Amino acid sequence: MALLHLPIETITEAQLGDLIQAKAAESLHIEYKRQTYGGGDGAHREFLADVSSFANARGGDLLIGVEAAKGVPSALSAFAGNADAELLRLDNMARGGLEPRISNLQMRAVPIAAGGSVLVIRIPRSYRGPHRVIFGGSNKFHARSSIGKYEPNVDELRAMFAFAPELAERMRAFRFSRVASIAAGDTPAALQGNLCLVLHVVPFSHFDLRPSLSLPKAVGVGSYFIPIGTTHAADSRINIDGFLTLSNPNDTGQHRAYVQVFRPGAVEAVACLGEHVEIRALGVDIVRHARLYTTALQECDAEPPFMVMASILGTKDKRVAALDNYKQLRGQVADRDQLHLTEVVLEETPNGNPNCGLALKPLLDHLANAAGLATSPSFDQEGNCLIHE
């Protein structure tokens, strides 16, 4: 029993009490501390070891203010000091004492009726690891099992370092497998044309053994999973793969665009483009919908990082161009049938279109290269993104 199924902001004293009643022992995903970490170097390193061990495994919750005997919780021992100041201190410790830094670390003080609070530190599974403790000249890695943290051996360290490259290859395999299916017409909805944009937004957790997406929540935030080029979905439904939204009513036969949200967490958005590829409008669509989909995925419990991948299919002998100030298309004819743009990793959910555009600049520049331009017209000379809300 653990708390990871609960959003951290919803955890209550009653749910902490349930852990005690159930005698929920420390495990791969939870650890109890009766008191907070002291100010000495040893306590500092102990905190960093605990946090990094969760991040280097599958993530979990560190609960400060819960008394436990041999790993079994027995009573609340609430922290009586200034909870906000203490969480800030711990957050600063984590930021400065680990390499690389763990993103998306969450902290909250759960108030206790009798006084004080239990400090909950939620450490996500990290896809940028392994993380090592560097505070005070230390250089140690920590892993985690069901009985607590430990220092991994050489073989385990090798596997930890290989995890990220292997994950990247699995991402690319997923992308090109889906592109091949779409090009062959094997899609969840029939499309109106062959020239189309394929946008994949994939949380790294898509490849975890456990499902990363709450399907009921995906249905609930379906307004975010809108097909490219529309302001709302004309139709939607649950299907065998997850959740599908459509640009046209389902009974019309062919569709201009669809969004397939897969059960493990990946989003596939496909949209027909007409007779040519206009990169200004296409760049706006990519940025706007990548931001919408990452926002929706986080609402559905699929945490960042996310990989954004875009391909354009059916481009052979089609013009790839940008509208100039005189509304004339300036570009060139594609010499191949598929254009696969640079992959971009979003470490956090973008806050607004300009920030999303800046993060996706390598992808947008690559799109501009296909039109014969050195850089994307979506940015000014100072590098500011011109794609606004």
Domain ranges of the chain: 8-152, 162-370
Strand, helix or coil at 213? coil
Instruction: Round the average pLDDT of the chain to a whole number and report it.
Output: 89
* pLDDT, position 210: 58
What average pLDDT score do residues 233-260 get? 89
Q: Which residues 6+ apart lie within 8 Å of 288 measured at CB? A: 353, 356, 387
Work out the pLDDT band at 206, boundaries 50, 70, 90.
Answer: confident
Look at residue 187 and tell me whether its pLDDT is greater than 60: yes
Look at residue 104 and tell me whether its pLDDT is greater than 60: yes
What average pLDDT score do residues 334-360 get? 93
The tokens for 229 are: 């080029």
Look at residue 58 and tell me whether its pLDDT is greater than 90: no
* Interatomic CA distance for residues 221 and 295, integer angstroms: 10
What average pLDDT score do residues 374-379 get? 91
The tokens for 294 are: 């990452």
What average pLDDT score do residues 259-277 get? 93
What average pLDDT score do residues 21-47 get? 91
Work out the pLDDT band at 360, boundaries 50, 70, 90.
Answer: very high
* pLDDT, position 291: 95
* pLDDT, position 325: 64
Q: Could you read off the pLDDT of 77-91 as tens digits, one per residue? A: 999 999 999 999 999
What average pLDDT score do residues 272-297 get? 94
* Interatomic CA distance for residues 153 and 57, integer angstroms: 14
* pLDDT, position 156: 86
Is the separation of the CB atoms in 36 and 78 below 8 Å?
no
* pLDDT, position 1: 58
Instruction: Tell me the C-alpha to C-alpha distance, in Å, between residue 87 and each of 16, 55, 66, 291, 363.
Output: 18, 18, 16, 30, 37
* Interatomic CA distance for residues 111 and 172, integer angstroms: 45
Strand, helix or coil at 339? strand
pTM of the model: 0.74
What average pLDDT score do residues 246-274 get? 90
Look at residue 242 and tell me whether its pLDDT is greater than 70: yes
* pLDDT, position 332: 93
What average pLDDT score do residues 157-172 get? 85
What average pLDDT score do residues 343-371 get? 93
* Interatomic CA distance for residues 369 and 385, integer angstroms: 17
Work out the pLDDT band at 2, boundaries 50, 70, 90.
Answer: confident
* pLDDT, position 160: 84
Look at residue 326 and tell me whether its pLDDT is greater than 60: no
Work out the pLDDT band at 327, boundaries 50, 70, 90.
Answer: low
CATH class held by domain 8-152: alpha beta
* Interatomic CA distance for residues 81 and 37, integer angstroms: 13
* pLDDT, position 329: 73
The shares of helix, strand and coil residues in the chain, as percent rounded to the nearest 5, are 35, 30, 40
Look at residue 209 and tell me whether its pLDDT is greater than 60: no
What average pLDDT score do residues 36-62 get? 91
